Amino acid sequence: MFNLWLFIKKHLSKDKTLTVFPQEEKLRLLAIEARKERQIDKGTKRYIYVIKTLRGEEEIAEAINAGRKVLKEEVKPLDDIQVTDLHIKNKKTGNITIEAYSFHSIAYDDGYKPVKKVTYYPYKFPTTAAYLLPDDLEAGDRVILDDLIEDIVGASHPWGRYRLDSAEATWNGERFIVDDKSYDTHITFG
């Protein structure tokens, strides 16, 4: 858990005045300190860590320079994760609108005409990310990866497949093994 007193003590100068940070810097430091969060696993009644993700070289470097352990990984978009947009032209005005492809977007009346379908990977992440590791993480520990670096399909419907945001995993001493039994891919129709 985040300890405000330790955070303040850490940032006091020698003359006991609090170092003043611009708001964004203060929030970033608070976020890094708060990443030591734990929850209770209802099945085992043990604490399990909620592992936070650092995105981008700068954030990773800051954590390393602060003495934190990280598991750095390359972000590799999964080809299976994609959504489709439909470009629809108003026949009277010639204006084109872009809508998420669905039954609703293709059910326009005669005043509109679909002109183009665009399928793409819908997420924009830096190419490098890292999991922030607790100092006392041991092989076999169960964790919750709060923001998955790996792309795993978490929801699917006829017009797109979306990534799983978070999942349970087990630390094997070198990397996390995502528990694919801890979630079901959500499939929607209609």
pLDDT in tens, 120-142: 999 899 999 999 999 888 899 88
Report if pTM > 0.75: no
Structural domain contains residue 3: no
- The number of folded domains in the chain is 2
Q: Determine the average pLDDT of the residues in 104-128.
A: 82
Residue 115 lies in a domain: yes
Confidence of residue 189 (pLDDT cuts 50, 70, 90): low
Q: Does some domain include residue 14?
A: no
88 and 168 housed in the same domain: no
The reply to whether 21 falls in a domain is: no
Nearest C-alpha neighbor of 148 from the set 61, 76, 84: 76
Report the Cα 141 to chain-centroid distance in Å.
21
Burial 85-124 (b: 16+ CB within 10 A, else e): bbbbbeeeeeeeeeeebeeebeebeeebeeeeeeeeebee
Q: In this structure, is the dihedral angle defined by the CA atoms of residues 48, 152, 157 and 114, taken in order, positive or negative?
A: positive
Pairing of strands 186-187, 153-157: parallel
